[in-house]
Amino acid sequence: MLNNIEWLVPSDDKVKLGGEDSEIVVSSRTRIARNITDIPFEIKMKTDDSIRLVKLVRSVIGENIKGKYLDIQKISPLEKESLLECHFISPAFLDIDKPAGLFILDKGNISIMINEEDHLRIQGLSYGLNLTNISSEVFDLEEKIGEDLAYAFNETYGYLTSCPTNLGSGLRASVLLHLPALVFTNEVEKVLKGAVQIGMAVRGLYGEGSEIKGGLFQISNQHTLGLKEEDLIESIVKLTHMIMDIEKKARNVIFTKARYEFEDKIFRSLAVLKSARIISTDEVLNLLSAVRFGIGTGVIKDITLGVINEIMLVSRPANIQLYFGEVLEEHERDVRRAEYIRKRLSGKSKITKSK
Amino acid sequence: MLCDDCKKKPATIFFKEVLPEEVVELHLCEECAHKRGLIMTKKMLPIEILQRLLREKSVEDEKIICSVCYLSLAEFKRRGRFGCSNCISTFEPYIKNLIKQIHRSDKHVGRQAKLGPKKGFEVFKLREQLKKALEKESYEEAAEIRDKLKTFEVDNAE
C-alpha cells in the first residue's frame, strides 16, 4: 500500500500563498556540500565506511534535530521518484547501491542527503523569492552539525568536496523563474545569455540536463570558489530582480498589444484543466504556465499561486501515484491526474497530512 | 564584399550599432567578428572545463599518490573526483591551474570551518570502541571508555 505522501504535503505556510514575488519566482533553493575529515570521499569509500558515515551522521542529527529519516536502500523506486520530483533527492540517489539516507526536517523545507557524491548535502527549498532566508536556515543547520562533526576544510580551497567544481563554499543557490512573456517576445535567450556571462548556469525545471518546459528556467551559480556566500546569494537575488523587471515590462507590452488574445489563451487553458478527462504531465505544465501567467497579471483572481504550485507538484508521474495510493500505468495516471486537477480547481480535495 | 577588418576573407556578418553620435556599420568575416567579441561562443560549464582539462595527462601521473587514500593523480584525472580530504594537498601543484580555470579564482574567501574537537564524532568513536571492547569481553577497557564517555555527558550538562 502506498500512502507515504507525507513529504508531498508542503508544511510551509508560504506554499499556500506562493511566497514573495511568486508571480515570477516559483521557488528558491540552496544546497551546500560538506564532507567529514577522517572518512574517505565517495570514490574511495568501502561499504564499511558508508555504514559508518550514515550511523555517525544519524547519531549527531538524531540527538539535536527533529525530523524523519528515510533509508534510501529500503524505500521503493516509486517513492524515490517522488522524492526526486519534490527535489529532496538528486537523480544519483535513484539507483544508488550503497548505504545512504535522507533526513527531512519536521518543517519540511530543509533536508539532508547523506552519502550522495559528498558525505552531506544540506538543502532547502522555499516558494517565491526567498533565497536569503532559506539559505540562512540551511547555514544554521550546517553550523549546528559542524559543532559535532569536523568538516573537511583547507585554508586555500575552503570546504573540500568530492568534485573540484564544488570546492570552496560548496554552495549552489538557485531560483526557478517563470518567464512566459519573455519567451513569447523571444527576448528570453538574450536575457539568459546575460546571466551566463556573469557566471550563472541556466537550466530546466529538474536541473542539469533537464529540458526547459512550461516557461520555467532555473538560474544557479556556476562557481563556488572566490566569492563569499552572502555576496553570491545577493548577486542572484539582484539578478532575479532585474529579470523580473524585464519580464514585467514584456507582460505590459503583451497586454497593451493583444489583451483579448492573451485573456483568451489564459481562460481556455484554465477551462481545459477544469474539464479534461485525460491529461499528461507536459500538458499540465504548459496549461499551468498560462494559468500562472493569468494569476500573476491579475486576469485570474479566484485561484492562488499556492494551488498552482501544489498541482504542479502533485501531478508529477510518481507523486500522482502516491497521492492516490496506487501503482498506476501511464494511461491510468493521465486519467487520475485529470481527476485530481478537476477536483483541486473546484476547491475540493486539498491534500492534508491525515490522508 | 570583403571583411572590413582583415580585408581578405568575404564578409558574412553584418553588424550595426546605433550610438547617440553616430551609426557604426561593420561587414566582417566570422573570424574577425570573433576577435572583436561580437559573436558569443557557447560558454563552457565548470564541469565541461574540468573534463577538458583532465584530458591533459602526463607519464608522471601514476607516481603522484595521496598518502592517505592512495589515489593517484592519474586516477584523479580519470574520475575527476578526490578520494579524501588530503588529496588536494598532494595534487595541488599539478591542479592549481585547473581549479583556477574552473572557478576563475584560486582562493576561498567565504565561511571558515570551526576547528577544535568535535563532541559528536568523539562520542561516536568512543561508543564504537566500547562495543568492540564488550565484544572482546575486555571489561576493564570498557569501564575506561565508559568513564571517558561520562566526561562528555558532564560537558553537555554544563
For the stretch B4-55, pLDDT in tens is 888 888 887 777 666 666 777 788 887 887 777 665 455 677 888 888 888 8
- Report which of A216, A348, A220, A350 is spatially closest to residue A292, judged by C-alpha positions: A216
Q: Are B99 and B51 contained in the same domain?
A: yes
Q: Are B92 and B130 contained in the same domain?
A: no
- Higher local confidence (pLDDT), A40 or B119: A40
Q: Are B34 and B60 contained in the same domain?
A: no
Residue with cell 529540458: A211
Share of chain B above pLDDT 90, in %: 34
Q: Are B84 and B125 contained in the same domain?
A: no
Nearest CB among A152, A159, A222 relative to B46 is that of A222
Q: Are B33 and B64 contained in the same domain?
A: no
In a domain? residue B10: yes
Copy the grid coordinates of residue A196: 551566463
Q: Which amino acid is at B133?
A: A
User: φ and ψ at A315, to 5 degrees?
Assistant: -80, 0
How near does any CA of chain B get to the CA of A115, in Å?
A: 14
Nearest CB among B69, B80, B103 relative to A223 is that of B103
Q: Are B35 and B81 contained in the same domain?
A: no
Quote the domain boundaries for residue B24. 1-41
- Report which of A162, A107, A173, A116 is spatially closest to residue A139, judged by C-alpha positions: A173
Nearest CB among A35, A36, A168 relative to B108 is that of A168
Q: Are B34 and B58 contained in the same domain?
A: no
Q: Are B33 and B55 contained in the same domain?
A: no
Copy the grid coordinates of residue A261: 488574445
In a domain? residue B125: yes
Alpha-carbon separation of residue A5 from A120, A221, A326, A354 (angstroms): 24, 32, 12, 10
In a domain? residue B108: no
Contact of A352 with chain B, judged by CB distance below 8 Å, is answered with no
In a domain? residue B111: no
Structural domains in chain A, sorted by start: 2-253 (3.30.590.10), 258-345 (no CATH)
Q: Are B121 and B145 contained in the same domain?
A: yes
- Per the DSSP assignment, residues forming a β-bridge with A113 are A102, A121
**Of A214-218, A219-223, A239-243, B81-85, which gets the smallest average pLDDT?**
A214-218
Alpha-carbon separation of residue A292 from A85, A263, A295, A305, B142 (angstroms): 20, 12, 5, 7, 63
Residue A2: pLDDT band (50, 70, 90) is very low
In a domain? residue B11: yes
Q: Are B36 and B51 contained in the same domain?
A: no
Q: Could you give the number of structural domains in chain B?
A: 3
How near does any CA of chain A get to the CA of B26, in Å?
A: 21
User: In the predicted model, what is the mean pLDDT of residues A321-338?
Assistant: 95
Whether the predicted pLDDT of A216 surpasses 80 = yes
Answer yes or no: do B120 and A147 touch at CB < 8 A.
yes
Residues of A in contact with B120 (CB under 8 A): 56, 59-60, 63, 147-149
pLDDT at position A355 is 35
pLDDT at position B58 is 85
In a domain? residue B142: yes
Residue with cell 544508488: A96
Residue A7: pLDDT band (50, 70, 90) is low
Whether the predicted pLDDT of B110 surpasses 60 = yes
Copy the grid coordinates of residue A344: 483541486
Query: Among A143, A156, A231, which would you mutate to test the B interface (most chain B Cβ atoms within 10 Å of its Cβ)?
Result: A156
